[in-house]
Structure 1
Amino acid sequence: MSQHLISISVLGLMFVIATVLPVNMGALAFVGAFIVGSWVAAMPAKSILLGFPADLFLTLVGITYLFAVAQNNGTIDWLVRLAVRAVGGRIAAIPWIMFLIAAVLTAVGAVSPAAVAIIAPIALGFAARYGINPLMMGLMVIHGAQGGGFSPISIYGGITNKIVQKAGLPLNEMATAFASFGVNLAVAAGLFVAFGGLRLMRKPAPALAAAPAPAGDVLAMSAPFAARTIPAQGAQIYGDAEAEAGFEERKTMAREPGALLGDAGTPAADTPAGPYQYLTVLGLVALAVLTLGMKLDIGFVSLTIAVVLTLIAPEQQKRALGQVSWPEIMLIVGVSTYVGVLDKMGTIDFVGHSVAALTSPLVAALLLCFVGAVVSAFASSTAVLGSLIPLAVPFLQQGSDVSAIGFIAAMAVASTIVDVSPFSTNGALVLANAQNVDRQAFFRKLLVYGAAVTVIAPVVLWFLFVVL
């Protein structure tokens, strides 16, 4: 067996182990980089470490640190309350508010499971109270989180843009961001119509959060959300580093009792924001302006803003560094280091040329989109993005009819939109927080929907962004 086939087999084995067992794939990838690089390719350790993505590491630490600070100081809760209050009594607007809030959270740096963990309990609580289809509400939250996931200052966006830039491919940050948001918005609109959204528009408008929620309601929980949002059991959940990151964030970022309702029973929406919250919002705006407008490094800028906000209230933010998504970061930098070893070995070129020789570039692009969707439905979307995009580089650089920008958009969306499956962290969170439902029936509906998305989405996205 050639060294190229050995290195590819090791990559596949890592996917399998991380799916079946609760082991971080990043740790496996570092070990794989050491074994394959040293024993198969005879590379010294210094050469292996050249593949470590220091810039991507700093980006991920800075973004997740800033989001943890914003969560700790109450800015995220305050923005959620403002959005919920803004709908007044318009029940039909609630699913769209939840969609947009989840999109904003991931767009400014939250990992997708963390955004869903924050919003799903609130959204499904509203669904139970006001007669909204819980499946529709849960899927709106997930698609919102995925829709905002490729902004230039997001986790997915940062990963994808760094990989594309390093590969020397044409880079259009906003094309992928708009593609992800547009596709998920269109899917959400279809779900809204299919699951009774038009009927909600004709319902009378009650007063939302006008009184303390009934005992046991999600809005009146005296325990943190982490106590209610445990993902479904199974190695395929905890083998995904995104699940580890989301679970750790829910444990450390859990709200204090009475966070949504005041201690005296007054609606939390009436609690005014303080200077710290306004400064945090200003910091998020500054992040967008400095990185998008002035092209400053997003890692350094986000870390600087986070540290400034921490210095304002160091006691409140002393746990923020522990809330950084270290398992997620471990996964990403580990896989990127292994891919760096593959690149130095020539395996990336070998695979790209082999795929291009076996079939047309258009069909090769479709196959990679399918692989990304299927693997991501059970394993980590970030690992898929980090390992499959580089495999497409050779045939994209050969001057084929496949647009690199279109393919990156199709691959990115296909690898993340499938996280609606109950075997993914997002789907498991929705399942865990659904109220007044037959749990098995709800699981089957999520499973059927997730399977349909996994089969249909790659073809549709390939046709929209690659063929057209």
Structure 2
Amino acid sequence: MEAAKFEGKQKKTLLLICVMMVVVLIFPLLKMLVSSAELFSVLGGKIDVELVAIAFASIALLMDLAPQKEVIARIPWNTIIMIVGAGMLIAVVVKAGTIDALSTWIGSNVPSFLVPVAFSIVGAIMSFFSSTTGVVAPALFPLIPGLAASTGLNTATLFACIILGAQSSAISPFSSGGSLILGSCGGEETRNVLFNRMLLVVVPISVAVCAFYNFVLAFTL
């Protein structure tokens, strides 16, 4: 069966998406390729993905590429509000110093060979409600050098365990990865079924397997 050809509005939408990707990625890529050019570093740090997305969405609206009311009605507002609220609570916990206190407690009370597993689980819990790169890594990475020095563990192992643990729960419906999947569902009934399966089946299995892997990793590196 031959696939249907794109219509005029679909081609324009695809073009806008490609242009947005170029705008977002061009300067970070140039920064990596030409690390000596300070201009690319400055411009790469100034690119705000959210602002660029809003700008291109506004352009699409002005070009009348889709019916405005229908598009707004199909946005999963409940999922978006849930993710924003959970992210705000995690940010409050980090600002209150809870993560620092938890790290100190783990370093003092947990046996050294279980520290990678403990940090894997902490990373998974944080990523369950927030972004790995936006919240978990900035909050936990600064704690690693001191913890590695006090426990004698390999620094790279601790970094790896945190990222692996965080990614193991990124499929959570409260996190960035899971919310994108839920947001792509067309119907509310399908979204509810998928929400329960992700929450009660996928995330527990993923976190448990990752914790076991990190336990093995701690003895091999």
Q: TM-score, normalised by structure 1?
A: 0.36
Q: 1:94 Cα deviation (Å)?
A: 1.9
Residues 52-61 or 90-99, more deviating: 52-61
Q: Match of 1:118, SS? A: helix
Alpha-carbon spacing, 1:52–1:26, altered in 2? closer, same or farther (3 Å):
farther
Q: Percent identity?
A: 20
**CA RMSD across the alignment:** 3.0
Question: Is 1:85 matched up with 2:105?
Answer: no
Which of 50, 57, 63 pairs up with 1:39?
Answer: 63
1:95 alignment partner in structure 2: 116
CA contact (8 A) 1:157 1:177 kept: no
Rate the CA distance shift 1:191–1:166 in 2: closer, same or farther, 3 A. Answer: farther
For 1:191, the aligned partner's letter is L
Name whichever structure is richer in helix by fraction.
Answer: 2
C-alpha contact (below 8 Å) 1:110/1:155 kept by paired residues: yes
Q: Deviations over 1:307-364 (max 9, x none)?
A: xxxxxxxxxxxxxxxxxxxxxxxxxxxxxxxxxxxxxxxxxxxxxxxxxxxxxxxxxx
Question: Per-residue displacement from partner, 1:77-98 (whole Å, max 9, x unpaired)?
Answer: 33333333321xx322222222
The answer for the alignment partner of 2:202 in structure 1 is: 176
Distance in 2, matches of 1:6 and 1:168, equals: 32
Which of 137, 153, 167 lines up with 1:132 in the alignment? 153
**CA gap 1:82/1:110 in 2 versus in 1, 3 angstroms:** farther
| Partner Cα distance (2:219, 2:187) in 1 | 42
d(CA) in 2 for partners of 1:44, 1:123 = 50
Match among 76, 81, 84 for residue 61 of structure 1: 84
Q: Label 1:159 to 1:48 Cα distance change in 2 as closer, same or farther (>3 A).
A: closer
Distance 1:38 1:185 in 2: 49
| Conserved 8 A contact 1:152-1:158 | yes
> Residue 140 of structure 1: CA displacement?
0.7
| Higher RCO (CA-CA < 8 Å; seq separation 6+) | 1
What are the superposed Cα offsets for residues 21-62 of structure 1, whole Å, 9 maximum, x if unpaired? Answer: 442333333333333344263x45444443544223311221
Cα deviation digits, residues 130-155 of structure 1 (max 9, x gap): 44222212111111222233334444
Residue 157 (structure 1) aligns with: 178
- Structure 2 segments unaligned to the other structure (5+ residues): 1-5, 28-43
Matched, 1:120 2:144: no
Native 8 Å contact 2:121 2:207 kept in 1: no
Distance 1:189 1:5 in 2: 49
Residue 119 of structure 2 contacts residue 162 of structure 2 at CA under 8 Å; is this kept in 1?
Answer: yes
Q: Deviations over 1:92-112 (max 9, x none)?
A: 2222222122122222x2322
Q: Given the superposition, is the C-alpha separation of residues 70 and 134 from structure 1 closer, same or farther in structure 2, using an over 3 Å criterion?
A: closer
- 1:11 aligned to which of 17, 21, 28: 17
* Cα gap change, 1:73 to 1:121, in 2 (>3 Å): closer
- Structure 1 residues 44 and 94, CA gap change in structure 2 (3 angstroms): closer
- Is the Cα contact below 8 Å between 2:161 and 2:214 reproduced in 1? yes
Deviations 1:178-213 (A, max 9, x none): 354245335534533431xxxxxxxxxxxxxxxxxx
Over 3 Å counting, the alpha-carbon distance change for 1:186 and 1:91 in structure 2 is closer
Does residue 27 (structure 1) correspond to residue 51 (structure 2)? The answer is yes
Return closer, same or farther for 1:60/1:152 CA change in 2, 3 Å cut-off: closer
Q: Is the 8 A contact 2:141 2:159 kept in 1?
A: yes
Is contact 1:102-1:145 (8 Å) kept? yes
What amino acid sits opposite 1:75 in the alignment?
Answer: T
Structure-1 separation of matches of 2:176 and 2:52: 21
Which letter maps to 1:143? L
- What do residues 362-409 of structure 1 show as CA deviations (whole Å, max 9, x unaligned)? xxxxxxxxxxxxxxxxxxxxxxxxxxxxxxxxxxxxxxxxxxxxxxxx
Q: Distance in 2 between matches of 1:190 and 1:17?
A: 42
The one-letter amino acid of 1:9's match is L
Look up the SS of the partner of 1:150 in the other structure. Answer: coil
Q: Does 1:111 align with 2:131?
A: yes
Q: Alignment partner for residue 73 of structure 2, among 50, 58, 73?
A: 50
**Contact residue 106 and residue 149 of structure 1 kept, 8 A:** yes
Whole-Å Cα distance in 2 between the matches of residues 168 and 11 of structure 1? 29
Question: SS at the partner of 1:164?
Answer: coil
Q: Give 2:36's aligned residue.
A: none
